[in-house]
Every structure is written in C-alpha cells, then in structure tokens.
Amino acid sequence: MGTSLLLIGKPHSSKTVFLSQFYSKLLKNKGKLKLYKPVDDLSPISGAKEALASGDEPQTTPSEKSVKFYLPIQVAEKQVDLKCPEYGGEQVSNIVENRELNKEWTSSIKESDNWILFIRLNNVNKPLDISDVTFSVQHQKSPKETISETEYKISDQSFFIELLQILLHAKGTDYHKLNDKPKLTIALTCWDEMNTEEKPYDVLKSKLPLLLNFLESNWEESCLNIVGLSAQGFSLTLPENKEKYQIEGPEEFGYLVLPDGTQTDDITELIEQALL
C-alpha cells in the first residue's frame, strides 16, 4: 500500500539529515519500524549518508533537486510503501515568496494525508518591533528614500502561517471545520541547540505563539502533534563528536522528545506517530 508522507522544511531545517538517520536506524534495526525489503534507490540521501558516516555535517540539498524517495517499511502488522519527496529547502521559501505551487508540489500535497513540518527554532528570525527601535537621524530620511529591505522581511512566524495556508488551500480543506486531514506533526529540529527541559509544546508557545494559535485554531487536537527532534544528537563541529560518528556509526545517535517531554533514541517514532 502506497502512503505519501510530506516532509516540509526550509533550508537548514535538518529534514535531509533526519531522512538519512531514519534510514540508518531502519537498516540497523534500531527502532520500532523496520524495512520489509531493500530500498531500490538511495540516491536522494546518499550525500547525507556519506557525510554523516565520515562525521561531517551534510550539505544542504540543492535548490533545484526534487525527487521521490521510497521506503518500504513495516508498521506493526502492516507493510507501508512510504513516499517521501526529497527537495531543496529553497523551494519552500519560494512557495511563500511567489504564492504559487508547481505541479510536483501540488501533486504531493493532494496525495498526502500526513505532513511533518520541520522548524529549527534557533534559526527563526525576529520581526521588526517599533519598541526595539531607537530614534536617530537615520529615521529622518526623505519618504522617497528606500527603506532597508530588512525592515520589510517577513518574520518566520508569519512565513510558516502563510505556508500552511497555501498548502491547505491546495489540499482543498474546508475552512469552516477543524482539520483532521491532513494530520500535522511539528518537529522542532536541532533540539540539542535549545538547551531546555521544557516540553516541545511550551517551547513553541514561547518562541512562536502566533503560529501555535493558528495551528490550534485550524487542526483537531488529536491530529496535531508537537515534538522535539535532534536527528544528529549533537553538533559535529567538535573533533570528539566527529570521531564518535566515525567509530560508532550515525545510527547510534539522534533522539526524539515526545509531547510529554519524554526522550527516546528511537527517531523512527516520528514517522510511526505521523502515520497512526
């Protein structure tokens, strides 16, 4: 049975790293989910796999790249042929900037009833707030002068809301009802950077409260899941961390923080929960 799972993430959101680590865990039987047969084509994640095996940070997926990555997984008693589109994160940025979807994105959205949105909170920008601005001579400019592009840049909080609205419109959802399809998982990535003991829900509430309000206003509670994810487990910039990956293997690392704050080394649960 073919099941399409749409993984959505801006550049540097750890989406490709997760896919590589997810496959490594499946291959080495390090999680609840299993492969029920070999994967036919590993080219979508081959670069990330090679980098992690060497203890290096994977390169960002090229913006023009857009391929289907198929994973034949065993979920409990059911065999699921999982289709995960792999693409350059800039494509997600372009969706909001241009307010349009190409045929491949439109097809992926309509085919999938399970979405995972990857958000790296340490990378989100802060919108310009007039209370943070100190008046100076610079603010006496002529109205004809161009205002800095930075002042007009959309905040990441608004970006994610706009993105989800575009995807929901393409999905053809009924705005008069709370969504039960697609089911949405928010994965707060690079969790190790957060240095917090808070639950994922509380972290999202403190960092992106408007986004959380939008999510809770548009999704059934049972169809909205918020988790923390550290696909690598830690940064690979330190020599000792790089050596750990080279010696022990990438599949030994990475963890997931469940909604109740419980931490598990089985990152395959992110996919399992999205499909349940």
The runs of H, that is alpha helices, within the chain are: 15-27, 46-53, 90-98, 103-111, 149-152, 156-171, 200-207, 209-218, 239-248, 269-275
Which of 3.40.1190.20, 1.20.210.10, 3.40.50.300, 3.30.750.24 is the CATH number of 2-125+152-275? 3.40.50.300
Q: Which residues contact residue 13 at a Cβ distance below 8 angstroms, ignoring those fewer than 6 apart?
A: 89, 118, 119, 120, 123, 189
* pLDDT tens across the length of the chain (276 residues): 568 888 998 888 999 899 999 999 999 999 889 999 999 888 888 889 999 999 998 877 655 566 778 889 988 888 888 888 777 778 888 899 888 898 888 998 998 999 999 999 988 876 554 444 455 555 555 554 544 544 556 788 999 999 999 999 999 998 888 988 899 999 999 999 999 999 999 999 999 999 999 999 999 999 999 999 999 999 999 999 999 999 999 999 999 999 999 999 999 999 998 887
| pLDDT in the model for residue 126 | 63
Prediction pTM value? 0.87
Contact 214, 164 (CB under 8 A): yes
Contact 186, 219 (CB under 8 A): no
Q: Which residues contact residue 165 at a Cβ distance below 8 angstroms, ignoring those fewer than 6 apart?
A: none
Q: Which residues contact residue 185 at a Cβ distance below 8 angstroms, ignoring those fewer than 6 apart?
A: 114, 115, 116, 117, 224, 225, 226, 227, 270, 273, 274
Q: Which residues contact residue 175 at a Cβ distance below 8 angstroms, ignoring those fewer than 6 apart?
A: 168
Q: Where are the beta strands (DSSP E) in the chain?
A: 2-9, 34-35, 66-75, 78-87, 114-119, 183-188, 224-230, 255-257, 263-264
Contact 243, 55 (CB under 8 A): yes
Pairing of strands 78-87, 183-188: unpaired
Q: Which residues contact residue 139 at a Cβ distance below 8 angstroms, ignoring those fewer than 6 apart?
A: 133
Residue 37: helix, strand or coil by DSSP?
coil
| pLDDT in the model for residue 63 | 52
Query: Among 90, 57, 91, 23, which Cα is nearest to 271's?
Result: 23
Q: What angle do CA 249, 251, 252 make, to 5 degrees?
A: 75
Contact 257, 227 (CB under 8 A): yes
Residue in this structure with the two tokens 């790293």, named with its chain if needed:
17
Contact 204, 243 (CB under 8 A): no
Task: Find the radius of gyration of the CA atoms of the chain.
Answer: 20
